[in-house]
Chains A and B, each alone.
Chain A
Amino acid sequence: MVKIKTTIAHKDPVITIRGLEKSFEQNTVLRGIDLDLYQGENLAVLGRSGTGKSVLIKIICGLLKPDAGEVKVFGQEITHITEKQLQEIRVRIGFSFQNSALYDSMTVRKNLEFPLVRNRTKLSRKEINDAVEGTLDAVGLLQAINQMPAELSGGQRKRIGIARTLILNPEVMLYDEPTAGLDPITSIEINSLINEVQQRYKTSSIIITHDLTCAKMTGDRVAMLLDGKFERQGSFEEVFDTDDERVKPFYDYNFIK
């Protein structure tokens, strides 16, 4: 159950964030964030609801624009690049949405084919089929290939959502609340899948969660978002070895002390 920590070389970060700020009208959620994501690392970002965790990863993939600060992805500053450059970066990033965001009107096969045929235009039909089937097999859902998203359970939808991002072989994975709304057993299965993805696809990942089991199982490093800043970063034990009244209740409630 406990993650075997990956050895991470703390050099050449794939994502570098400095002084990131973001507000929504009067509500400031990010107040000068500094963060590095290193090659091959799983970074779990913890924090209460509404603290801007999802906003952070949406800024990283260019869905939201920051108010201030610098965001470098693969060494390229993404806040002032063209749409075409952003698209090239996005192909290298996989984004797993909280509610999976599967395309309702398409079968599972079509869901996976959609990004593939539009980004790898020279693939033959056989290569497309092999890629789709191989990726579904990797997440253990090959049998669901012809099903519609509405016919799948919450856990299956999460897996298909992850498979849809993996089909482009991303270098970075961004998981938005991967275990939200799932039962404990399915949550553990999803956590194991996140670790498998890290090992098999050699990805670096940011896992946004408020589920401490998920953070403990998947994170090589944990960063806790408090009052719009990452005030505590380190291993799971380091982050929670504190008397900080903003952190302790979080731990106590999660493990029902």
Chain B
Amino acid sequence: MSGSTSAITVKKHSSFYRWLTGMFITLYKVSKFIARFFKELFMPPYEFKEVIKQCYDVGVRSFTLITVTGFIVGWIFTKQSRPSLVTIGATSWLPSLVSIAILRALASLVTALIAAGKVGSSIGAELGSMRVTEQIDAMEVSGTKPFKYLVCTRVIATSITVPLLATYTAFIALLGGYLNVAQNEGISFTTFMQNAFDPITFIDFWATLTKSLVFGFTIGIVGCYQGYNALRGTEGVGKAANGAVVTAMFLVFIEEVIVVQIFGWLR
């Protein structure tokens, strides 16, 4: 009995040990990948054209979805918040409540999740496919720098574009909120905006922009890491795309907690 228990413990221990070792190896590889990104970022060639192309791609790929989602989030959030405020006779707080929720949390989070789904998976699949079909090897053997051309440009693009998209999402969500408020309370756009921005401080803008920058960087680097290191075969491409989305979304939530905490201390 004790012999079999001990055998099970050893087995469990060894699988836990393997999991732990695997996690540290992955962490080491990711850290190395990020370090390489920063090292190559400041070295020529700078591939400006490709950065602009990637920024355009990232923006265009997510634009429609972000517009629709942002509007719906603002509209629904306002609609669902009203009953609680009506019971305490505080519907005049609705604009500020909506703006705080959107600017401090929802805009950057919704944008990041959409970008992770649309852009992260696309980067993972594209680079994964290039790895599997030896296109990345072909770049390497021709004396060019595929890491710079493929990874640095995409990570820069997501880091620039996600904050811009988050700002746009905030605007669209506020618009959705306003339309709902106007429908029920009949206040003007100027009054709504004045009330909405009243409780917003400079630090709120910084927090949202910083968060979006961190999210954008994460989506780019995770997508590139998964694609660049995809294993051989079509299965590897699928895994890279899936891994890019799942990991990026998970990290976005973790980072949300961390950044909110840091800016909470700064307030």
- Complex contacts, B143 vs chain A, CB 8 Å: 87-88, 90-91, 115, 118-119, 168
Q: Is B90 an interface residue (CB 8 A)?
A: no
Number of interface residues of A (CB under 8 A): 25
Contacts of B140 in A (CB 8 A): 63, 90
Least CB separation from B44: chain A residue: A121
The reply to whether A90 and B135 form a contact with Cβ atoms under 8 Å apart is: no
In A71-98, which residues have CB < 8 Å from any B CB? 87-88, 90-91, 93, 95, 97-98
Kindly state whether residue B199 has any CB partner on chain A within 8 Å: no
**B134 touching A115, Cβ below 8 Å:** no
Nearest residue (CB) in B for A88 is B143
- From 97 to 155 in chain A, residues with beta carbon under 8 angstroms from any chain B beta carbon are 97-99, 101-104, 114-115, 118-119, 121
How many Å lie between the Cα of A108 and that of B135 in the bound state? 14
Which residues of chain A have C-beta atoms less than 8 A from B130's C-beta?
Answer: 103-104
Whether B135 and A118, one on each chain, are in contact in the complex, defined by CB atoms closer than 8 angstroms, is: no
Let me know if B137 is at the binding interface, CB within 8 A: yes
Give bound CA distance, A102 to B143, whole Å.
15
A42 CB within 8 Å of chain B: no
Q: Scoring A residues 230 to 250 as 1 if CB is less than 8 Å from chain B, else 0, what string do you get?
A: 000000000000000000000
| Contact status of A101 and B133, CB under 8 A, knowing A95-B138, A114-B139, A118-B45 | yes
Contact B142 A90 (CB under 8 A): yes
Q: Please measure, in the bound complex, the distance between the C-alpha atom of A63 and the C-alpha atom of B139, giving whole angstroms.
A: 11
Q: Is B60 an interface residue (CB 8 A)?
A: no
Q: Report B-chain residues with C-beta under 8 Å of the C-beta of A93.
A: 141
CB contact between B137 and one of A63, A88, A102, A168 (< 8 Å): that residue: A63
C-alpha gap A172/B145 in the complex (Å) = 20
A103, B138: Cα distance in complex, Å: 9
How distant is the Cα of A91 from the Cα of B106 in the complex, in angstroms? 50
A61 to B134, CA, bound (A): 14
Interface status of A164 (Cβ within 8 A of chain B): yes
Chain A, 48-71, contact with B by CB distance < 8 Å: what is the 0/1 string?
A: 000000000010011100000000
Q: Does B188 sit within 8 A of A, measured CB to CB?
A: no
CB–CB A118/B144 < 8 A:
yes
Closest to A98 in B: B134
In the complex the two chains form, is A97's CB within 8 Å of B134's CB? yes
Q: Decide: B135 and A119 in contact? CB cutoff 8 A.
A: no
Q: Which of B45, B129, B130, B133 has the most CB of A within 10 A?
A: B133
Mark contacts of B63-96 with chain A using CB atoms, 8 A cut-off: 1 yes-contact digit, 0 otherwise: 0000000000000000000000000000000000
Closest to A87 in B: B143
Residues of B within 8 A of A58 (CB): 137
**Cβ contacts under 8 Å, B138 to chain A:** 95, 97, 101-103, 164
Nearest Cβ on chain B to A248's Cβ, whole angstroms: 33
- Note all chain B residues with C-beta closer than 8 A to A91: 142-143
A61 touches B141 (CB 8 A): yes
A102 touching B142 by the CB < 8 A rule?
no
- Tell me the complex Cα distance, A97–B135, Å: 9
Q: Report the nearest A residue to B137, measured CB to CB.
A: A63
Which of A88, A95, A98, A102 contacts B141 (CB under 8 A)?
A95
Q: Which residues of A contact B141 (CB under 8 A)?
A: 61-63, 90, 93, 95
The CA of A88 and the CA of B144, in the complex, are separated in Å by 10
Q: In the complex, what's the smallest C-beta–C-beta distance from B223 to chain A, in angstroms?
A: 16
Instruction: Give chain B residues whose Cβ lies under 8 Å from the Cβ of A101.
Output: 133-135, 137-138
Residues of chain B within 8 A of A164, CB atoms compared: 138, 142
What would 22 A/B residue contacts be, using CB atoms closer than 8 Å? A63-B137, A95-B138, A95-B141, A97-B137, A101-B133, A101-B134, A102-B135, A103-B130, A103-B139, A104-B129, A115-B139, A115-B142, A115-B144, A118-B45, A118-B143, A118-B144, A118-B145, A121-B45, A164-B138, A165-B142, A168-B142, A168-B143
Report A's interface with B, CB cutoff 8 A: 58, 61-63, 87-88, 90-91, 93, 95, 97-99, 101-104, 114-115, 118-119, 121, 164-165, 168
> Besides the contacts A95-B138, A101-B138, A168-B142, what 20 more A-B pairs have beta carbons closer than 8 Å?
A58-B137, A62-B141, A90-B140, A90-B141, A93-B141, A95-B141, A97-B137, A97-B138, A101-B133, A101-B137, A102-B138, A103-B138, A104-B130, A104-B133, A104-B135, A115-B139, A115-B143, A115-B144, A118-B45, A168-B143
Report the 6 A-B pairs with minimum CB-CB distance, sorted nearest first. A115-B142, A91-B143, A101-B138, A101-B134, A95-B141, A118-B144
